[in-house]
């Protein structure tokens, strides 16, 4: 696939000049190296974590981050699966299918992977990880659980889906360690399932 010359996908995993994007991603917030992200990166980068930016007309408008299961941000397991922690394209760049382009770049870069997995949310109050968007990117739901947040929107249950995209014929569907996921994640503080530093115990509880 040949990219339009205005589009660049850059692997920034170990590029110091792009460090702010590793920490604050595309969010309009000040760059701060925070301990949990630092710890996650220290462990995940040597195991194959990657973060990439999509630059369009010299402006950063998209990102994707992924890692092999053992270094990913979610407790997803399967043989030879790459787990996409996150993908994000800014609304101002929508209409170019940049999300799909980032996913295709990941699939091409991880040619040995049998499949790719991520999560999706349904009925969550945030605009993140919406199921139909993850489906548009090529993933399908293979498992789900209904949960409740323990601090926010206590009255609103939502569903977490395990999303999968097999590539090789013999790919084995991944499994989610739901108990672990209920604890909340710690790899990115902007994530809707983030567990605050001072919170003891799980951040989510199972409804069914
Ligand atoms: C999913 C996402 C990456 C797609 O961005 P994009 O590639 O710029 O999307 P596009 O505008 O080019 O649209 C892609 C496809 O979705 C369709 N689409 C876009 N908006 C739609 C809508 N509101 N309803 C239905 N379809 C829609 C488009 O028609 C297009 O379909 P096609 O592939 O059949 O042509 C982007 O919406 C996003 O970043 N969402 C948030 C992801 C997220 O939660 N990240 C976590 C951050 S913490």
pLDDT digits (tens, 9 = 90+) for 149-171: 999 999 999 999 999 999 999 99
Nearest to 86 by CA among 111, 54, 51: 51
Nearest to 145 by CA among 75, 74, 205, 78: 205
Which pTM was predicted? 0.96
Non-local CB neighbours of 123 within 8 Å, separated by 6+ positions: 156, 157, 158, 159
Q: Is the CB of 101 under 6 A from ligand 1?
A: no
Q: pLDDT value at position 1? A: 62
Q: What parts of the chain have a pLDDT lower than 50? A: none
**Tokens 């115990």, located at residue:** 201
State which ligand 1 atom lies nearest to the alpha carbon of 129: 44
Name which residue sits closest to atom 42 of ligand 1, judged by CA. Answer: 88
CA of 121 to the centre of ligand 1 (A): 15
Q: What are the residue ranges spanned by the domains of the chain?
A: 7-206
Coil, helix or strand at residue 21: helix
CA of 202 to the centre of ligand 1 (A): 31
State which ligand 1 atom lies nearest to the alpha carbon of 137: 1
* Residue to probe by mutation, ligand 1, list 99, 125, 135, 194, most atoms within 8 Å of CB: 99
pLDDT tens-digit map of 100-126: 999 999 999 999 999 999 999 999 999
Strands 50-56, 76-77: parallel, antiparallel or unpaired by DSSP? unpaired
194 pairs with which residues across the strands? 185
Kindly report the CATH number that applies to the domain delimited by 7-206: 3.40.630.30
State which ligand 1 atom lies nearest to the alpha carbon of 97: 12
State which ligand 1 atom lies nearest to the alpha carbon of 188: 48
Nearest to 150 by CA among 85, 83, 207: 207
Neighbours of 179 (CB within 10 A): 10
């Amino acid at each position: 696939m040949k990219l339009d010359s205005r589009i660049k996908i850059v692997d920034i995993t170990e590029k110091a000049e792009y460090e702010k994007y590793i920490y604050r991603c595309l969010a309009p917030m000040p760059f701060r190296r925070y301990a949990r992200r630092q710890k996650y990166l220290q462990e995940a980068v040597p195991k194959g974590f990657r973060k990439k930016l999509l630059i369009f007309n010299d402006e950063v408008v998209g990102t994707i981050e992924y890692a092999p299961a053992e270094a990913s941000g979610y407790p997803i397991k399967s043989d030879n699966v790459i787990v996409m922690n996150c993908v994000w394209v800014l609304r101002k760049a929508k209409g170019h299918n940049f999300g799909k382009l980032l996913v295709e770049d990941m699939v091409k870069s991880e040619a040995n992977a049998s499949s790719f997995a991520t999560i999706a949310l349904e009925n969550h109050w945030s605009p993140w990880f919406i199921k139909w968007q993850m489906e548009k990117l090529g993933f399908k739901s293979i498992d789900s659980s209904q949960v409740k947040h323990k601090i926010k929107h206590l009255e609103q249950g939502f569903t977490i889906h395990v999303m999968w995209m097999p590539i090789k014929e013999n790919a084995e569907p991944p499994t989610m360690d739901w108990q672990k996921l209920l604890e909340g994640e710690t790899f990115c503080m902007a994530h809707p399932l983030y567990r605050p530093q001072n919170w003891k115990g799980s951040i989510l509880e199972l409804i069914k």
